[in-house]
Structure 1
Amino acid sequence: MPHRTINLHLVSDSTGETLNSIARATLARFEDHHVVHHRWSLIRSRLQLDRVLEGLNHEPGPVLFTLVDRSLRLALEENCMRLGVPCLSVLDQVVDLLQGQLGARAREKRAAQHVMDADYFRRIDAMHYVLAHDDGQGTAGIHEADVCLVGVSRSSKTPTCFYLANRGIKAANVPIVPNSALPPELAEAPCPVVGLTIETNALIEIRRHRLRLIGADGVRQDTNDYIDHDSVKAEILAARRLCNQHGWPVIDVTRRSIEETAATVLQLMEAWHARRGSAAAPAPVDPAAVVLGGGAA
């Protein structure tokens, strides 16, 4: 089948995050084809919609939308019908299903998921916490953490913590440095501690890239322990051994995205709370979540 190039228009009266996630998840299954994204966010008036229609007329293509305003929906659907391009409201089927199950009509409220409520401020607080407790900073505050990640340098601890913070999780991270002791607060942490590991060659490549970014081209790459193969391998093994000694589960992040790593951390957190019979513990998780493989979950 020949490769095709299409225009895909994502039209939202909010931030467009929902449409972006749906498009990313579905288009990953069509990697041999080229899709040009046209993102139209915060479309809340007819004047704003007219800009969308102009763009659609100029570069026709299928439309995915999340619009609550009925008049805007109708105008968009009529224009798509005139152009002969498919147009789909991605949330309608889910809303219809839930209305039937709940016996209540959904409110016609745009951006209902983006409100400044307690959950919103919990996420902001978690972001501030991650900033203050990144890379071993503020270890005295580990007792406030919901989870603590440990691992060697450049094993994706920081980006994983920020992703978790966006879910309202206070995540601290502590580097495992050769010949350096871990902070004593970690041994008494009242939260799950999770180790992150990575394959030797992958870590060396990440560290080489890091050195290039910070202008460390003058470093002798054949002797620098930071990227020396034997030294890095020993560092990773020592870190794994340390986690095993403390009974901390370890996730191999080599072939995992940040999202997949964070999802596994959340599952391990659920399991940790379930074992302790926490009143706030979520439902039990799939035992496969604790498998330490590097493959995507």
Structure 2
Amino acid sequence: MAQHTTNLHLVSDSTGETLNSIARATLTRFEAPHVIQHRWFLVRSRFQLEQVLEGIQAEPGPVMFTLADKSLRHSLEEFAGRLGVTTLSVLDPVLELLQKEIGEAAKEKRAAQHVLDADYFRRIDAMHYVLAHDDGQGVAGIQEADVCLVGVSRSSKTPTCFYLANRGIKAANVPIVPGAALPDILDHPPCPVIGLTIEVGALIEIRRHRLKLIGAGGVRQDTNDYVDLDSVKAEILAARRLCTSHGWPVIDVTRRSIEETAATVLQLMEAWHARSTKASAAAPA
């Protein structure tokens, strides 16, 4: 029996990040859904909306949207209604809840989360910081870090740091290399230090893929410590022991997405700051 195909239209007057996240989170709840996503972003004029309406008419399907402009929103809902297509303004339930609790009407403001405010520049600053302090670079700058990630090579330190930077977090990362000492600053770190670890098999696969990408596929992998099973096992074990000896928490990233790893890092950061605040309060004046 042929599988039913659903056209899902995502319409936003901004970058579409909210709609993308909601669609991704909800579609994973279905068993192999055959959904074609049509993305219509930065829709801010009548002309742009007309193109969207033509697309919906050509391939009808439910519409999820975030449009602050009442005129554009009304035209979209009216057109979809004539086609018999369902529409959903995904932010309405949240706005209604908050308006009721706060006691204030929300303003009609498109792309409000992308204004060039202090938070925006904090994220840019954090991104520059990650670039300057990736893979053990700029060790002295760890003094300014919000968090420092440590782990063996290819344990997702860098992508996690960049994800955190997008949240305004200055994240440094330092590799744990067999036979090499960690920077002295980590003996008394000014910020939370968190270890990242990964299962042996998964790490070897990632490293083999890395070798191929950089043109080192010709190296005899059975004699290369970088991908040798026993060597990698010993490397991961030594890294775990190092983190334990320093009292640093460790996150196993094997089956975690970067987003999940970053969320756990943020939780551990909050716990670290809570302990620090409690210790400072308990210290004699």
State the TM bucket, normalised to the shorter chain: over 0.9
In the TM superposition, what is the alpha-carbon distance from 1:69 to its structure 2 partner? 0.8
Partner in structure 2 of residue 211 of structure 1:
211
Partner in structure 1 of residue 100 of structure 2:
100
What code does the residue aligned with 1:148 have? C
Partner of 2:36, secondary structure, is strand
In the TM superposition, what is the alpha-carbon distance from 1:155 to its structure 2 partner? 0.1
1:85-129 deviation per Cα after TM superposition (whole angstroms, max 9, x unaligned): 111100111111111111111001111111111111111000000
Q: Which moved more, 1:172-181 or 1:92-101?
A: 92-101
Q: Which runs of 5 or more residues in structure 1 are unaligned?
A: 280-297
Partner in structure 1 of residue 151 of structure 2:
151
Provide the C-alpha distance between the structure 1 equivalents of 2:37 and 2:258, rounded to a whole number of angstroms.
Answer: 23
User: Are 2:72 and 1:80 aligned?
Assistant: no
In the TM superposition, what is the alpha-carbon distance from 1:270 to its structure 2 partner? 0.5
Provide the C-alpha distance between the structure 2 equivalents of 1:186 and 1:277, rounded to a whole number of angstroms.
Answer: 20
Provide the C-alpha distance between the structure 1 equivalents of 2:259 and 2:55, rounded to a whole number of angstroms.
Answer: 33
User: Are 2:256 and 1:230 aligned?
Assistant: no
Partner in structure 2 of residue 26 of structure 1:
26
How many residue pairs get aligned? The number is: 279
Provide the C-alpha distance between the structure 2 equivalents of 1:278 and 1:51, rounded to a whole number of angstroms.
Answer: 57
Partner in structure 2 of residue 141 of structure 1:
141
Partner in structure 2 of residue 70 of structure 1:
70
In the TM superposition, what is the alpha-carbon distance from 1:278 to its structure 2 partner? 6.8
What code does the residue aligned with 1:186 have? L
Normalized per residue, the structure richer in helix is: 2
Q: CA RMSD in A?
A: 1.3
Provide the C-alpha distance between the structure 1 equivalents of 2:62 and 2:219, rounded to a whole number of angstroms.
Answer: 51
Partner in structure 1 of residue 264 of structure 2:
264
> 4+ residue stretches of structure 1 with deviation over 6 A?
none
Provide the C-alpha distance between the structure 2 equivalents of 1:53 and 1:137, rounded to a whole number of angstroms.
Answer: 51
Provide the C-alpha distance between the structure 1 equivalents of 2:134 and 2:61, rounded to a whole number of angstroms.
Answer: 44
In the TM superposition, what is the alpha-carbon distance from 1:192 to its structure 2 partner? 0.5
Provide the C-alpha distance between the structure 1 equivalents of 2:235 and 2:48, rounded to a whole number of angstroms.
Answer: 55
Provide the C-alpha distance between the structure 2 equivalents of 1:91 and 1:62, rounded to a whole number of angstroms.
Answer: 16
Partner in structure 2 of residue 286 of structure 1:
none
Partner in structure 2 of residue 125 of structure 1:
125
Provide the C-alpha distance between the structure 1 equivalents of 2:137 and 2:106, rounded to a whole number of angstroms.
Answer: 45
Partner of 1:148, secondary structure, is strand
Provide the C-alpha distance between the structure 2 equivalents of 1:24 and 1:206, rounded to a whole number of angstroms.
Answer: 25
Partner of 1:11, secondary structure, is strand
Q: Which moved more, 1:25-34 or 1:5-14?
A: 25-34
Provide the C-alpha distance between the structure 1 equivalents of 2:276 and 2:145, rounded to a whole number of angstroms.
Answer: 17
1:161 and 1:171 in contact (8 A); partners too = yes
The percentage of aligned residue pairs carrying the same residue is 79
Q: Which runs of 5 or more residues in structure 2 are unaligned?
A: 280-285
Write out aligned runs for 1:141-290 (5 A). 141-277=141-277
Q: Which moved more, 1:230-239 or 1:210-219?
A: 210-219
1:3 and 1:32 in contact (8 A); partners too = no
Partner in structure 2 of residue 4 of structure 1:
4
Provide the C-alpha distance between the structure 2 equivalents of 1:258 and 1:278, rounded to a whole number of angstroms.
Answer: 30
In the TM superposition, what is the alpha-carbon distance from 1:4 to its structure 2 partner? 2.5
Provide the C-alpha distance between the structure 1 equivalents of 2:30 and 2:195, rounded to a whole number of angstroms.
Answer: 34
